[in-house]
Amino acid sequence: MKIVVTGGAGFIGSNFVRYLYRERPSWHIAVYDKLTYAGDKRNLEGLDGDRVHLIEADICDEQKIDRAVADCDMVVHFAAESHNDNSLHSPWPFVETNLVGTFRILEAVRKHNKRLHHVSTDEVYGDLALDDPAKFTPDTPYNPSSPYSSTKAGSDLLVRAWVRSFGIQATISNCSNNYGPYQHVEKFIPRQITEILDGRRPKLYGSGENVRDWIHTEDHSSGVLAIVEHGRSGETYLIGANGEKSNKEVVELILELMGKDPKDYECVNDRPGHDLRYAIDTTTLHDELGWSPIYTDFRRGLSKTIDWYRQNESWWRLQKAETEAKYQEIGR
Ligand code: NAD
Ligand code: TDX
């Protein structure tokens, strides 16, 4: 099996590559990645070059993506612009990569008749009220809020149209918020851990009541692999780990686990259009493919993640100053 993993040098993509490397020792993995500010070659360090090789290229580059797809059995597509805050002040890269880039991949898999798995987010469904008993299911209508989530929603719809109109073999997964090693420090959990390590207070947007449904990235990887191997073409699968927590709860837990006063955080300006709550119903993935998460203890998963950031300061130190300078500009 020769598999192309787009975005394989980013947070979730590189964790997936490491997972595959371990779980499917006979597979050859081509990481196709533009190495934007969010991609890092170091995320693939230690992997044998005979089994994993990097193609440094843009998914919007028609010829390069065509060549990579022609030369594999299957594509798993993680590459995206992924940060909501960035999408609010600079939406174009989101339109380009998430929509045009996905279009290029679809055309290449159509031409070469290759299997595609498209990785997406629960944010395509919009948000839920805090007291809504419902969770997102594959039938929830799309209702995205931000330039990020709307371009991801558009990319999902392109995939569905290519399945129906052209008969390509493709699956889609929509996953909830991931945490774990190698996540860029612009994102919520690593930002707070590294703020504390740098002797500053964590920053909660608004009052911190917004709820996210946390899943360890390793569980996301096992869910994607289950779909890649056993999913039905044309289907959408939701991946989540019943990990609903308010941002305030998460910040308080990080502070506690790092030996600080759980109330020692500050509230900063809220994100415009901030989605209130996400929650995932994973019945299909569980019943149809027998998948379930392993990291069911959030406290333990978070504690391991804190250890990783403590032990890998050289990995995040370079991103940190630039990231905080950007946040300072927007007052968050
Ligand atoms: P990330 O920003 O950490 O990584 C994105 C990767 O894509 C980087 O390596 C980057 O260099 C690469 N990339 C960006 N534009 C590219 C282009 N034009 N051509 C080639 N490569 C390009 O993102 P992530 O958090 O790892 O998310 C990966 C995927 O998972 C995305 O599709 C995202 O929408 C989805 N997702 C993320 C989460 C989450 O919590 N982070 C949850 C659900 C779904
Ligand atoms: O400093 C912060 N303080 C804060 O309160 C940051 C960076 C975020 N937040 C809040 C905003 C959100 O309610 O924390 C929550 C999580 O924020 P992000 O890490 O930016 O994630 P989110 O916007 O929820 O989107 C993430 O999950 C879905 C990923 O970035 C997306 O790629 C994925 O699709």
Q: Is residue 257 part of a domain?
A: no
Q: Among 40, 81, 85, 123, which one carries the catalytic annotation?
A: 123
- Closest by Cα among 10, 112, 101 to 67: 112
Tell me the residue range of the domain where 84 lies: 2-186+214-244+277-295
Does residue 267 sit in helix, strand or coil?
strand
Q: Per the structure, how many domains does the chain have?
A: 1
Q: pLDDT of 75-86, one tens digit each?
A: 999 999 999 999
Q: pLDDT of 166-207, one tens digit each?
A: 999 999 999 999 999 999 999 999 999 999 999 999 999 999
Alpha helices in 90-146 (DSSP H): 92-94, 102-112
Do the strands 266-268 and 215-216 form a parallel or antiparallel pair, or are they unpaired? unpaired
Output the pLDDT for position 54: 98
Phi/psi at 16 (nearest 5 deg)?
-65, -40
* Ligand 2: nearest atom to the Cα of 250: 14
The predicted model gives 297-305 an average pLDDT of 98
Residue nearest to atom 3 of ligand 2 (CA): 204
Tell me the helices (H) and strands (E) count for the chain, helix number first.
12, 13
Q: pLDDT of 128-141, one tens digit each?
A: 999 999 999 999 99
State how far Cα 250 lies from the chain centre.
Answer: 18
Q: Is 179 a catalytic residue?
A: no
For residue 144, the domain's CATH number is 3.40.50.720
Q: Is residue 288 part of a domain?
A: yes
Q: Is residue 204 part of a domain?
A: no
Ligand 2 pocket residues where CB is under 6 Å: 82-84, 121, 123, 177, 187-188, 191, 203-205, 210, 212, 247, 271
Does residue 173 sit in helix, strand or coil?
strand
Q: Is residue 201 part of a domain?
A: no
Considering the chain, what is the average pLDDT of its residues?
97
Position 331 pLDDT exceeds 90: no
121 neighbors 212 (Cβ within 8 angstroms)? no
* Ligand 2: nearest atom to the Cα of 146: 23
Cα-to-centroid distance, 188 and ligand 2 (Å): 5
Please report the DSSP string for 142-185 in residue order: P---SHHHHHHHHHHHHHHHHHHHH---EEEEEE--EESTT--T
Q: Which ligand is nearest to the CA of 219?
A: 1
Q: Is residue 254 part of a domain?
A: no
Does residue 81 sit in helix, strand or coil?
coil
Q: pLDDT of 255-272, one tens digit each?
A: 999 999 999 999 999 999
State how far Cα 168 lies from the chain centre.
Answer: 24
The predicted model gives 86-113 an average pLDDT of 98
Q: Among 122, 156, 275, 324, which one carries the catalytic annotation?
A: 122
Q: Is residue 25 part of a domain?
A: yes
pTM: 0.98
Q: Is residue 321 part of a domain?
A: no
* Ligand 1: nearest atom to the Cα of 175: 43
Q: Is residue 173 part of a domain?
A: yes
Q: Residue 233 is which amino acid? A: S
